[in-house]
């Protein structure tokens, strides 16, 4: 494994934990990372005061300028990258993917990559019925109630071809050959 494409959507839930795992993997391997953000991913990273960190820690860094810009889908589809990771993935992104909507950079990249052989790993934030605890940008704990529709969409995502659903940021270690 040499190259990983990592897409970030607009979820604050699990963003810090995912980021910490990715930085750790980067430090322990010689993998090349290409990081791309949805428009909302950029907003959330700024809100969580991680914007400068991600640009410092990952030099191949792109932001959403449209569903096919920057052009990421083609290189993923033909195998230039060894895998596509979307982590964390919002309920909105998951709902679009399971319904075949490819109108954003992240959803289009997933849609087009799924047509090739490059494996796709997605970490949806809404996977457990009931409540989950997360951390706000100020460090406070926050309890969120999961909507059944969002959990159901994550379950549907797990049934899609060429997509593996991750349960936690720590599972990213398992997919990386370290």
Neighbouring-strand partners of residue 131: 145
Structure tokens at 97: 């993917």
* 152-174 pLDDT tens trace: 999 999 999 999 999 999 999 99
C-alpha angle 83-153-159 in degrees, rounded to nearest 5:
55
Q: Which residue has the higher pLDDT, 131 or 111?
A: 111
Q: Are 62 and 34 in contact (CB under 8 A)?
A: yes
Q: Find the helix or strand (DSSP H, E) in which 121 lies.
A: strand 120-124
CA dihedral 99, 103, 105, 111 (to 10 degrees): 40
pLDDT for position 143: 83
CA distance 143 to 51: 25
117 lies in which domain range?
Answer: 3-175
Average pLDDT of the residues in 37-43: 92
pLDDT at residue 178 above 70?
no
Q: Find the mean pLDDT for residues 48-58.
A: 95
For the chain, give the mean pLDDT.
91
Query: In this predicted structure, what is the pLDDT of residue 71?
Result: 84
Q: If you average pLDDT over residues 90-98, what whole number do you get?
A: 97
Across residues 62-90, what is the average pLDDT? 88
Over 90: is that where the pLDDT of 40 sits?
Answer: yes
Residue 64 binned pLDDT confidence (cut-offs 50, 70, 90): confident
Calpha distance 20→133 (Å, rounded): 18
177 pLDDT exceeds 90? Answer: no
Q: Write out pLDDT tens, residues 118-133.
A: 999 999 999 887 787 8
Q: How many residues does the chain have?
A: 178
Q: How many domains does the chain have?
A: 1
**Which pLDDT belongs to residue 122?**
98
pLDDT confidence of residue 155: 96
Of the listed ranges 2-6, 97-101, 173-177, the one predicted with least confidence: 173-177
- More confidently predicted of 141 and 28: 28
pTM score, two decimals?
A: 0.91
Q: Report the CATH number at residue 84.
A: 3.40.50.1950
**CB 142 within 8 Å of CB 13:** no
Distance, in Å, from the CA atom of 13 to the CA atom of 178, rounded to the nearest integer, reads 26
């Amino acid at each position: 494994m040499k190259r990983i494409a990592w897409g970030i959507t607009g979820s604050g839930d699990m963003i810090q934990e995912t980021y910490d795992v990715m930085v750790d993997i980067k430090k322990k391997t010689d993998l090349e990372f290409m990081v791309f953000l949805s428009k909302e991913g950029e907003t959330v990273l700024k809100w969580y005061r991680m914007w400068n960190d991600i640009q410092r820690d990952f030099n191949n860094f792109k932001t959403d300028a449209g569903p096919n810009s920057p052009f990421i889908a083609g290189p993923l589809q033909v195998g230039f990258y060894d895998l596509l990771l979307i982590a964390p993935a919002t309920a909105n992104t998951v709902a679009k993917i399971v319904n075949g909507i490819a109108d954003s950079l992240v959803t289009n990249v997933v849609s087009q990559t799924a047509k090739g052989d490059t494996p796709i790993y997605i970490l949806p934030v809404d996977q457990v019925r009931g409540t989950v605890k997360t951390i706000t940008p100020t460090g406070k704990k926050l309890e969120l109630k999961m909507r059944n529709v969002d959990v159901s969409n994550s379950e549907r995502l797990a049934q899609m071809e060429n997509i593996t659903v991750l349960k936690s940021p720590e599972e990213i270690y398992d997919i990386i050959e370290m």
